[in-house]
């Protein structure tokens, strides 16, 4: 019985842990860049995005195109580009938003 209580507690604690922050790197120009994960979530400043070559998606929202001028193929984006992608993803609408 105690084993199930400990298991439930461990499950609860692991579900409440914050997402890991994406690593910050310095690009060739000396600017800070966010290293993106193209096979899962990329989290920065408590915002998580699912980024692929041509689209971006916020959790609970539909996919949106990557805004023009942002190159995700390099594997890094600037903090401003990440914010632009977040804005684009949030404007895509969620399930039940009327976009069918």
Specify if 13 maps to a domain: no
State the alpha helices, DSSP H only, in the chain.
2-15, 79-90
d(CA 41, CA 51): 7
Position 3 in a domain: no
Instruction: Tell me whether residue 82 is exposed, middle or buried, using C-beta atoms within 10 angstroms of its C-beta: 0 to 12, 13 to 18, 19 or more.
Output: buried
Q: Which pTM value belongs to this model?
A: 0.73
Please report where in the chains the tokens 């000396």 appear, as a residue.
30
pLDDT digits (tens, 9 = 90+) for 49-94: 999 988 999 988 899 999 999 999 888 999 999 999 999 999 987 7
Domain containing 49: what range? 19-90
**Mean pLDDT score of the chain, rounded to an integer?**
81
Q: In this structure, is residue 6 part of a structural domain?
A: no
- For residue 1, being part of any structural domain is answered with no
Number of independent structural domains in the chain: 1
Q: Judge whether 40 lies within some domain.
A: yes
Residues 10-31 have a mean pLDDT of 70
> Considering the domain boundaries, does residue 98 fall inside one?
no
Task: Specify the pLDDT at position 63.
Answer: 92
Q: What angle do CA 56, 57, 59 make, to 5 degrees?
A: 155
The rounded percent of the chain whose pLDDT value lies above 70 is 76
Please tell me the least confidently modeled range out of 2-6, 16-20, 39-43. 16-20
Specify the range with the lowest mean pLDDT, choosing from 23-27, 46-50, 64-68.
23-27
């Amino acid at each position: 019985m105690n084993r199930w209580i400990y298991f439930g507690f461990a499950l609860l604690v692991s579900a409440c842990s914050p997402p890991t922050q994406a690593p910050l790197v310095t690009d060739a120009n000396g600017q800070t860049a966010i290293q993106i994960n193209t096979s899962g979530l990329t989290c920065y400043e408590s915002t998580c995005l699912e980024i692929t070559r041509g689209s971006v998606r916020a959790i609970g929202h539909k996919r949106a195109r990557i805004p023009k001028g942002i190159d995700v193929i390099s594997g890094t984006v600037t903090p401003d580009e990440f914010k632009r992608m977040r804005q684009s993803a949030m404007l895509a609408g969620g399930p039940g938003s009327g976009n069918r």
